[in-house]
Structure 1
Amino acid sequence: MDHKQIQIPRRQFLRQAAAAMAVPLLPAAAARAAADKGYPDAPIKVIVPFSPGGPTDLMARTIGKPLGLDLKQPVIVYNKPGGGGAIALGETRNAAADGYTLAFPSIQAVTNPALRSDFPFDMEHDFTGITVVGYIAHVMVVKADFAAKDLKEFVAMAKASPHPYAYGSSGNGSSGNLAMEMFKDRAGIALTHVPYRGSGPAVQDLLSGQIQTMFLDTTTAIPLLQAKKLRALAVAPAKRSMVLPDVPTIAEQGYPGFDIHAWYGLLARSGTPAPIIDTLYRATRDALRDPGVLKTFHSLGIEPGGNTPQEFNALIRADLRSWSSVINKLGLKIS
């Protein structure tokens, strides 16, 4: 199969990745000292690899306050977009392994190693998981007046169309892009990818009829579904979303095994002492039980996480392998 080149400026990515790797590593002795004198005794930095206002940023800021209250230190969120997440991950990887600099990546952290041949990190060994903070389902949507009322009708219409339908995404290599590539492969339909810089412009073109469909995260989709501007055809996870319980899954509609779950979680540099990881895990787990956090998450279409560090690390390993298999099968690469 010919590789489908996802066009992202290679020189820009390499420049950003190199910058992320340029900071010299701090000695592990700093981490041991932090553990010995009582953690934490200084503010904690959480680095989000996306711009302010998106789902990841909102999630990080929502848990930041109760997390800080529990740890008795400020939790400060910094936005460091760029390099497919390499900037944020690089700053965490090159900080001391003392629990004061954490990364807050999305599932993109486990898809990029397969998509980008020059991705500069070993996600299994350079980082250690603390916990998944939240899951956001992706929902396949069409304009509210689109003729197809369910996935079966959409597939039939796509196959009958003399020209391929166009689908949008928030960018090359995004979860929405990968989800639709997986779906069109399973459904045996031709769809033309139109990448945008963010979901906002893509939604505008969907509403105007310039594109016919896309996968949206529930945070973005729910207000548009409630306003009856869009209609949901299916959700991508294997199980129905708790925030869209009436929308059937893709697997339910004739594609068994289809399962895309988008997680967002906290990572520390590998080598961070286990007591510090445990402190961060327990504080985050408790923050995720806070009624205010749960209310905000539900309003944003976010399902709370809270798995153990061991479970999160196992998820990272499993997703690295499964996404590598899928991406290689589909022939998707970023160049």
Structure 2
Amino acid sequence: MKPECRDGLRYVLRRLCCWLLAGLLPVIAGAAGYPEKPIRLIVAAAPGGSADAMARTIQPYLANLLGQSIVIDNRAGASGIIGIDLVAKAPPDGYTLLVNTSTHTTLPGLKAKLPFDLVKDFTPVSLVVSQANLLVVHPSVPAQSVRELVALARARSSSINFASGGVGTSPHLAGELLNLVAGVKMAHVPYKGAGPALVDLLGAHVQIMFVGPLAIAQHIKAGRLRVLAVSNSRRSSVFPEVPTMAEAGFRGVESGTWYGIAAPSKTPKATVDRLYAAIKQGVSTPELRSRFELQGVEIVASSPAEFAPYILEQIAKLTKLVRAAGLRPE
């Protein structure tokens, strides 16, 4: 090779190295100093629901551990698609995060086309907590058990409605499962989030709802709602006297919801690790652990490596459940 060619090759390689370093240095520096400004936590649902309650419960602990404010931003609508898409298209710098839930993993089975890919467009940080749904009714409903509720639905099917935070949510699928197993046809009334659904349930505009204890434990204890069953394989530690759906005679009607944190795809690993460390430390504090346990919520705090395959499993599982419930992609 001629000397002038070798010199030219060295020049090109040096420039290439400079370009690569120039691209990497901001990422490395940003991760090392993260966070340097407030973090926006997107809740793809209206205020008042379980996802919102989880976010607001962990908010002060994460803010304290990270040394920055955590701003909760509720972006409800289109079964959560609006809020999820906002995070999918946000810069991958760790300053826009998503409270992702099991409800989001039903979307591929419900929607023929989505503006994002739940796997490719996100970086899982941690599955924070999970909870089993409770079957609750307004006190005006003359049913003290699931069997009595089913008998009432058979006799007055046109006047018995069940609410949910939207089509494809865990409470929606639980209601459809009860319809299927019990052979009844209670009408589904979807809302833009569990919060508005709960408001109408408390106002007796709808009669029934499957919902997690995070959002309703205080209403049950105050007598504003009556709990009939737990949609889990074991009883609730908060309401141990309440039977499971199987014990109530309706095996197979099991549903729950999990809540995690995700970042946009390509978020630096150091940033993701910093977030996960704060989450794990936060939920390990005695005060926060006690708050969750008193509400019947199970702390998980899985690692990013554990959370990623779980999301894939949930998408496959819930897509099958959506089809079994007779729901067709829109």
TM-score normalized by the length of structure 1: 0.79
Q: Which residue of 1 aligns with 2:284?
A: 289
Q: Which residue of 2 aligns with 1:179?
A: 174
CA-based RMSD of the aligned residues comes to 3.1
Q: Does 1:45 align with 2:35?
A: no
Superimposed CA distance per residue, residues 223-266 of structure 1 (whole angstroms, 9 cap, x where no aligned partner)? 22212233211122333333333322223334444431211110
Q: Does 1:61 align with 2:56?
A: yes
Q: Which residue of 2 aligns with 1:35?
A: 28
CA contact (8 A) 2:157 2:184 kept: no
Distance in structure 1 (CA, Å) of the matches to 2:245 and 2:86: 38
Q: Does 1:95 align with 2:103?
A: no
CA contact (8 A) 2:174 2:254 kept: no
Secondary structure of residue in 2 paired with 1:194: strand
Secondary structure of residue in 1 paired with 2:322: helix
Distance in structure 2 (CA, Å) of the matches to 1:65 and 1:315: 27
Q: Does 1:313 align with 2:313?
A: no
Superimposed CA distance per residue, residues 117-157 of structure 1 (whole angstroms, 9 cap, x where no aligned partner)? 12222212221211122224321112336443322333344
Q: Which residue of 2 aligns with 1:215?
A: 210
Distance in structure 1 (CA, Å) of the matches to 2:165 and 2:68: 35
Which stretch of the first structure deviates more once superposed, 138-147 or 180-189?
A: 138-147
Q: CA deviation at 1:176?
A: 2.0
CA contact (8 A) 1:133 1:305 kept: yes
- C-alpha change, 1:254 and 1:60, in structure 2 (3 Å) is same
One-letter amino acid of the counterpart of residue 143, structure 1: H
- C-alpha change, 1:231 and 1:62, in structure 2 (3 Å) is closer
Q: Which residue of 1 aligns with 2:326?
A: 331
Q: Does 1:82 align with 2:77?
A: yes
One-letter amino acid of the counterpart of residue 65, structure 1: P
CA contact (8 A) 2:191 2:197 kept: yes
Distance in structure 2 (CA, Å) of the matches to 1:131 and 1:116: 25
Unpaired segments ≥5 residues, structure 2 = 1-19
Q: Which residue of 2 aligns with 1:273?
A: 268
Q: Which residue of 1 aligns with 2:230?
A: 235
User: Aligned pairs, how many?
Assistant: 309
Q: CA deviation at 1:189?
A: 1.8
CA contact (8 A) 2:230 2:245 kept: yes
Distance in structure 1 (CA, Å) of the matches to 2:225 and 2:294: 18
CA contact (8 A) 1:102 1:266 kept: yes
Identity %: 34
Q: CA deviation at 1:76?
A: 2.9
Q: Which residue of 2 aligns with 1:6?
A: none
CA contact (8 A) 1:127 1:268 kept: yes
Distance in structure 2 (CA, Å) of the matches to 1:85 and 1:202: 15
Give 1:180-195 correspondences, 5 Å limit: 180-195=175-190
Q: CA deviation at 1:181?
A: 0.6
Distance in structure 2 (CA, Å) of the matches to 1:205 and 1:88: 23
Superimposed CA distance per residue, residues 172-210 of structure 1 (whole angstroms, 9 cap, x where no aligned partner)? 333322210122112222212233455566556656765
- C-alpha change, 1:162 and 1:317, in structure 2 (3 Å) is closer
- C-alpha change, 1:282 and 1:242, in structure 2 (3 Å) is farther
Q: Which residue of 2 aligns with 1:7?
A: none
Superimposed CA distance per residue, residues 62-120 of structure 1 (whole angstroms, 9 cap, x where no aligned partner)? 32222232223333333333333233322322233333321112222101221121222
- C-alpha change, 1:130 and 1:206, in structure 2 (3 Å) is closer
Match 1:116 to one of 108, 111, 125: 111
Q: Does 1:249 align with 2:264?
A: no
Distance in structure 2 (CA, Å) of the matches to 1:119 and 1:47: 18
Q: Which residue of 1 aligns with 2:101?
A: 106
CA contact (8 A) 1:31 1:97 kept: no
- C-alpha change, 1:53 and 1:36, in structure 2 (3 Å) is same
Q: Which residue of 2 aligns with 1:18?
A: none
Secondary structure of residue in 1 paired with 2:100: coil
Distance in structure 2 (CA, Å) of the matches to 1:209 and 1:61: 27
Q: Does 1:149 align with 2:144?
A: yes
CA contact (8 A) 1:242 1:303 kept: no
Q: CA deviation at 1:34?
A: 2.9
Larger Rg over CA atoms: 2
- C-alpha change, 1:234 and 1:313, in structure 2 (3 Å) is same
TM-score normalized by the length of structure 2: 0.80
- C-alpha change, 1:30 and 1:331, in structure 2 (3 Å) is farther
One-letter amino acid of the counterpart of residue 280, structure 2: R
